[in-house]
């Protein structure tokens, strides 16, 4: 079994709790940094779903509007075992909006609808707002209160365990896939395996930076990312400006999502990243053979607009995360959880 237990930043969980005792205990709201224009060939729908994954909603929309998969757009994948609100687009040139009453059901509701000139593409949303309730809470509540305050300084930006499949199943397919033994694997499943491998290698690099205590602090040779953007630049020296911006959480260190292309990191940082990736040389070669390009991801995730209510046996939290960051990376710094997904 592949080890998915990465080191903690703030000392490890100090409590235990139940997660997802009901749908309402895990609410996710996708948000954009713009508004649909109100006219155009694409109908944009802001949908609340319960007990459905994103692909299932796409199938419902296709059947409702008589559209193929490629005519429907969405920005991010959302959890099935939750109440989630996200945007979808449907390409309807010269067509009237379909009747909403024929689409809606208890587990699927349309909250907003607007026309827009363009299709909704993957990764367009700015981030997600989470409202989470942890129940049957037990542990050191005094330390938990302190830990909640520490979260405002960030958590390691690990990919969550859901990226790797149950018990790391997606990763278990990597070696036979790269060896050419899984020739009938679907394109969708192949994409999940490639994504899991890149995410795992990133987490391994981040884990080492956590062990070294350098996951927040920029080092010479790092590639820095500007908070709230994907803009990156090489850190050639740690002058007062760079140090100050790092301390103010304006820029963060990054690590690679491996693929072809120059790493951009240098010195000891480059050596660390290379040494860890080379431990998985067959996987790394598989990513290169698949034609994936290297990207950079921030090592730090900052929960924005963080608020909480801590009671004797429950913890309710609200916070926003940038696109691609996982709420489970926040929760794991607080509590060991047992998930009890509701029955849809």
Q: Distance between CA atoms of 79 and 85, rounded to whole angstroms?
A: 10
Report the interhelical angle of 267-278 vs 281-289 (nearest 10°).
100
Going by DSSP bridges, is the β-strand pair 295-298/251-257 parallel, antiparallel, or unpaired? antiparallel
Which positions ≥6 away from 231 have C-beta within 8 Å?
225
The position carrying tokens 């390409």 is 91
CA–CA separation, 13 and 150 (whole Å): 13
3-class DSSP string for 266-298: CHHHHHHHHHHHHCCHHHHHHHHHCCCECEEEE
At a CB cut-off of 8 Å and minimum separation 6, what does 301 contact?
A: 154, 155, 156, 157, 321, 322, 325, 326, 329, 330
E strands in 218-332: 223-226, 232-234, 251-257, 295-298, 300-301, 304-310, 314-322
Give 211: exposed, middle or buried? Use CB within 10 Å, 0-12, 13-18, 19+.
exposed
What is the rounded (10 degree) CA torsion for 37, 45, 120, 259?
Answer: 140
Question: Which of 25, 79, 239, 313 is an active site residue?
Answer: 79
Residue found by looking up tokens 């713009």 in the block = 34
Which is it for strands 127-139 and 223-226: parallel, antiparallel or unpaired? unpaired
Q: Would you give the distance in Å from CA 278 to the centre of its chain?
A: 25
Contact 255, 267 (CB under 8 A): no
Among 169, 263, 154, which Cα is nearest to 210's?
A: 154
CA–CA dist 319, 66 (Å, integer)? 37
Task: Identify whether 79 is a catalytic site residue.
Answer: yes
Catalytic residues: 79
């Amino acid at each position: 079994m592949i080890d998915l237990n990465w080191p903690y930043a703030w000392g490890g969980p100090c409590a235990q709790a139940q997660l997802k005792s009901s749908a309402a205990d895990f609410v996710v709201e996708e948000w954009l940094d713009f508004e649909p224009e109100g006219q155009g060939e694409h109908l944009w729908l802001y949908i609340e779903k319960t007990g459905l994954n994103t692909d299932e909603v796409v199938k419902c929309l296709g059947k409702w509007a008589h559209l193929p998969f490629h005519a429907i757009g969405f920005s991010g994948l959302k959890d099935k075992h939750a109440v989630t609100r996200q945007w979808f687009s449907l390409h309807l040139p010269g067509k009237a909006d379909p009747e909403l009453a024929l689409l809606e059901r208890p587990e699927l509701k349309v909250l907003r609808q607007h026309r827009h000139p363009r299709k909704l593409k993957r990764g367009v949303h700015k981030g997600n707002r989470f409202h989470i309730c942890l129940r049957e809470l037990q542990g050191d509540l005094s330390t938990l209160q302190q830990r909640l305050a520490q979260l405002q300084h960030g958590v390691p930006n690990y990919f969550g365990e859901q990226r790797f499949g149950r018990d790391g199943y997606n990763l278990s397919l990597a070696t036979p896939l790269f060896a050419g033994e899984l020739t009938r694997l679907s394109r969708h499943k192949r994409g999940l395996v490639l994504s899991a491998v890149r995410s795992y290698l990133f987490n391994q690099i981040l884990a080492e930076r956590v062990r070294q205590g350098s996951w927040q602090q920029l080092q010479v040779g790092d590639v820095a990312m500007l908070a709230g953007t994907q803009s990156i630049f090489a850190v050639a020296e740690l002058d007062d400006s760079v140090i100050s911006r790092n301390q103010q959480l304006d820029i963060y260190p990054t690590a690679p999502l491996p693929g072809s292309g120059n790493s951009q990191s240098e010195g000891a940082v480059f050596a660390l990243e290379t040494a860890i990736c080379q431990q998985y040389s067959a996987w790394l070669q598989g990513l290169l053979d698949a034609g994936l390009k290297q990207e950079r991801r921030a090592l730090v995730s900052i929960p924005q607009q963080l608020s909480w209510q801590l009671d004797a046996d429950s913890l309710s939290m609200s916070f926003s995360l940038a696109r691609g960051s996982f709420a489970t990376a926040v929760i794991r710094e607080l509590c060991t959880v047992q998930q009890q997904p509701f029955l849809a």
